[in-house]
Amino acid sequence: MAGDVVDLIMQDHREVERLFHELERHPEKRPLLVPVLSSLLTAHSRAEEAEVYPAAKGEADEAEDVAHGQKEHAEAEQLLAKLNETEPESKQFEKVLSDLVEAVTHHVKEEESTVLPKMRRELTEARRRELGKAFVSSRTSHLGARPGEATKRELLTQARNAGVTGASKMDKDEIAREVAKSS
Measured CA angle at 149 (ends 145, 151), to 5 deg: 95
Write out the chain's pLDDT in tens, 183 residues: 579 999 999 999 999 999 999 999 999 999 999 999 999 999 999 999 999 999 988 888 888 888 888 899 999 999 999 999 999 999 999 999 999 999 999 999 999 999 999 999 999 999 999 999 999 999 999 887 777 777 788 878 888 888 888 888 888 778 777 877 775
**Domain-wise residue ranges, the chain:** 5-182
Helices (H), 86-168: 91-113, 115-122, 125-142, 152-162
Q: What's the whole-model pTM score?
A: 0.84
CA distance between the termini of the chain:
35
